[in-house]
C-alpha cells in the first residue's frame, strides 16, 4: 500500500525539524538564555521545545523561505530585464500587443501550483495542531485586564492570579522584567497539557513562542490548545492582542518541571483536610441521692367574716 501524501509530508517535515533542531542546538547550548525568552543579538526563532514547534519552524525554514526567496528573485529579475531590455533607448519602437496567452497561463497556473505545494505541508501541520493526544492534565487560562488567572481542575486547584513581577523583585531574583510573573503555570515535562483559554472582559491572546502556541482568549467562548514540552526550564510568553492600556503588562510564564517536582507542587497547593473537632467532654452522673424536697405546707384557712 502506497503511503499517503500526508505521511510523506510528515516525514519530510520531521526531517526538517531534525535539521532545525541541530542548527539551533549548537547555538542554544552555548547560550542557555536562548531557550524560553528573547535574547539580545539573536537572529531567527527562539529554539522550540515541542515537536509541533520544531515542525512549524522547519516548514518555515525549509519550505516557505525558499519559495519566498525564489519568487522575490524571479520578480526582481523580470523587473530588471524589462527595465534594461525595453527602455526607450534599447527599444525605441515599442510593441503594440496587449495580450500574451502563454504568459497569462504561466502567471495563473504557476501560483496555483506553488500554493498547492505549500498546502501539503501546511494542512498536515494544521491537522496535527488540532489532533491533541490524550492529555495528562488541563489548565484553564483566563485573560483579564490586565493579568492572567490559572486553574487546574484535574488537580482540584482553584484559579490563582498571575500578575507581572515588579521590576525590583525581578532584578533581585535575576529574572527578566516584563516577562516574569508572580504565579507561573507549572507543568510536568514530557506530558501533554491541555490549555483551555477564555477571556473575562475583552479579547486577549495566550502565546508562548517556545511551545509554538498562540490562541485568542475570547469572552464567553472557550478555545483550546495543547503542548508537550520536552525540556525542563522556564518559558515566557505574552498577551499578543491589543487589550487595553496595560496590554504589555500581562506576561505568561510556564515552568516545566520533573514529574516528582510537579507532584510535590500539587501537594503543596492542595489544602490539608480539616481536622475533626474534639469530642465534647461528658460529665459523669452524680451518685449522690437527690436532695429531699420540702413538703408542701398547707395554706392556712382564711378567717371567717363576722
Tell me what pLDDT residue 29 has.
44
d(CA 14, CA 250): 34
User: Environment class of residue 88 by beta-carbon count within 10 Å: exposed (0-12), middle (13-18) or buried (19+)?
Assistant: exposed
Tell me the chain's radius of gyration from C-alpha atoms.
Answer: 36
pLDDT above 70 (res 111): yes
Higher pLDDT, 204 or 298: 204
Band of the pLDDT at 26, cuts 50, 70, 90? very low
Tell me what pLDDT residue 163 has.
97
Segment 207-260, tens digit of pLDDT: 999 999 999 999 999 999 999 999 999 999 999 999 999 999 999 999 999 999
What's the mean per-residue pLDDT of the chain?
84
Mean predicted confidence (pLDDT) in 21-41 = 63
pTM for this structure? 0.74
Tell me what pLDDT residue 30 has.
42
Tell me what pLDDT residue 7 has.
57
d(CA 44, CA 28): 12
Higher pLDDT, 29 or 102: 102
Tell me what pLDDT residue 271 has.
65
Amino acid at each position: 500500500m502506497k503511503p499517503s501524501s500526508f505521511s510523506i509530508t510528515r516525514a519530510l517535515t520531521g526531517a526538517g525539524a531534525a535539521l532545525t533542531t541541530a542548527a539551533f542546538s549548537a547555538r542554544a547550548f552555548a547560550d542557555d538564555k536562548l531557550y524560553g525568552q528573547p535574547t539580545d543579538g539573536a537572529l531567527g526563532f527562539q529554539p522550540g521545545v515541542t515537536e509541533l514547534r520544531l515542525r512549524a519552524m522547519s516548514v518555515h525554514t525549509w519550505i516557505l523561505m525558499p519559495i519566498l526567496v525564489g519568487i522575490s528573485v524571479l520578480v526582481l529579475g523580470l523587473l530588471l530585464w524589462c527595465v534594461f531590455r525595453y527602455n526607450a533607448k534599447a527599444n525605441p519602437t515599442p510593441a503594440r500587443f496587449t495580450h500574451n496567452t502563454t504568459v497569462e497561463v504561466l502567471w495563473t497556473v504557476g501560483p496555483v501550483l506553488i500554493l498547492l505545494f505549500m498546502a501539503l505541508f501546511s494542512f498536515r501541520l494544521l491537522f496535527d495542531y488540532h489532533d491533541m493526544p490524550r492529555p495528562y492534565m488541563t489548565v484553564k487560562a483566563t485573560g483579564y485586564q490586565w493579568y492572567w488567572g490559572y486553574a487546574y481542575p484535574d488537580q482540584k486547584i482553584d484559579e490563582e492570579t498571575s500578575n507581572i513581577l515588579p521590576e525590583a523583585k525581578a532584578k533581585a531574583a535575576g529574572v527578566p522584567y516584563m516577562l516574569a510573573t508572580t504565579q507561573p503555570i507549572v507543568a510536568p515535562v514530557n506530558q501533554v497539557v491541555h490549555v483551555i483559554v477564555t477571556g473575562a472582559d475583552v479579547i486577549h491572546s495566550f502565546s508562548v513562542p517556545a511551545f509554538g502556541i498562540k490562541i485568542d482568549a475570547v469572552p464567553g467562548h472557550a478555545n483550546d490548545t495543547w503542548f508537550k514540552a520536552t525540556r525542563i526550564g522556564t518559558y515566557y510568553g505574552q498577551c499578543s492582542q491589543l487589550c487595553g492600556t496595560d496590554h504589555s503588562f500581562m506576561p505568561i510564564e510556564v515552568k516545566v518541571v520533573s514529574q516528582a517536582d510537579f507532584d510535590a507542587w500539587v501537594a503543596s497547593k492542595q489544602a490539608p483536610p480539616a481536622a475533626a473537632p474534639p469530642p465534647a467532654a461528658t460529665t459523669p452522673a452524680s451518685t449522690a441521692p437527690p436532695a429531699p424536697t420540702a413538703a408542701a405546707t398547707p395554706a392556712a384557712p382564711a378567717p371567717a367574716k363576722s
